Amino acid sequence: MQGYDNSSYGDAFADVYDDWYGDISDIDATVTALARLCADAGGLSIVELGCGTGRLALPLALAVHPTTVTGIDSSAAMLQQLDRKRGDTPLQTILGDMVDDIPNSRLGVVFVAFNTFFNLGTAERQQQCMHAVAQRLAPGGSFVIEALVPEDPARTGSMVEVKSLARDRVVLSVARYDGGKQSVEGQFIEFTESGGVRLRPWTIRYASPTELDSMAATAGLRCSQRWETFSGETFNEDSHRHVSVYTPV
């Protein structure tokens, strides 16, 4: 999408993110699973890639204290929302990129939730992220990816849906699918009677669990566990999403 960069998503969604997506997944189950993986890695530091408003990183930091938790995000607007909520929570944040700005230290758990890995817009960038994480993971550490399972066959074409409708306001969701490129580009378009039009753009480059496993293998990681969700439901061929745990070979 022309003009779209690393901070476009966060800057466009920061003001509505918690309202729209605050309960998109089970936070308690996510925190419990990540804390367990952290304990398995000897309590070493945790990093969340694309932490956004801290939906997961803030409760996790409280749960695993005194283990250091760091959230990286490329959107200042998202991190401002996080700061508004954080109180005394012992969470470190980095305004930066989830490939280039991962701290150079031995890490116990790195995780990337809710399709955020697919915000890296090319296979090359996703592979670079795998390498960057693998270089920093301690033996026994984990890289956890939570993501959708792409439709098979891949969808191509466009769609328009009504996200919300009120007397003085409508939000439309439009998206364009390119199955060949494994990409989806979308916009939430908000019209208000007072005259405003607000655009919230997003793009993803999706990958199947098999492709992620292959990228991980190239980086020296292997998939040691895969669930449908952080609650531990069994992943199977009908699953629409997955939580994959990659560990150093």
Interface with ligand SAM (CB under 6 A): 6, 9-10, 50-52, 55-56, 72-75, 78, 97-98, 113-114, 116, 119-120
CB nearer to ligand SAM: pick between 131 and 191: 131
CB of 92 to ligand SAM, least distance (A): 15
CB of 242 to ligand SAM, least distance (A): 15
Query: Tokens for 208?
Result: 């199947």
CB of 195 to ligand SAM, least distance (A): 28
CB nearer to ligand SAM: pick between 120 and 130: 120
CB of 168 to ligand SAM, least distance (A): 28
- CA nearest neighbour of 138 among 104, 94, 89: 104
Measured CA distances, 88 to 106, 107, 129 (Å): 25, 23, 30
CB nearer to ligand SAM: pick between 113 and 134: 113
* Angle subtended by helix axes 57-64 and 27-40, to nearest 10: 50
Query: 164-195 burial, b for 16+ CB within 10 Å, e for fewer?
Result: eeeeeeebebebebebeebbbbbbbbbeeeee
CB nearer to ligand SAM: pick between 128 and 191: 128
Give the integer Cα–Cα distance in Å for 6 and 96. Answer: 9
CB of 13 to ligand SAM, least distance (A): 7
CB nearer to ligand SAM: pick between 116 and 191: 116
Phi (first) and psi of residue 73, to 5 degrees? -150, 145
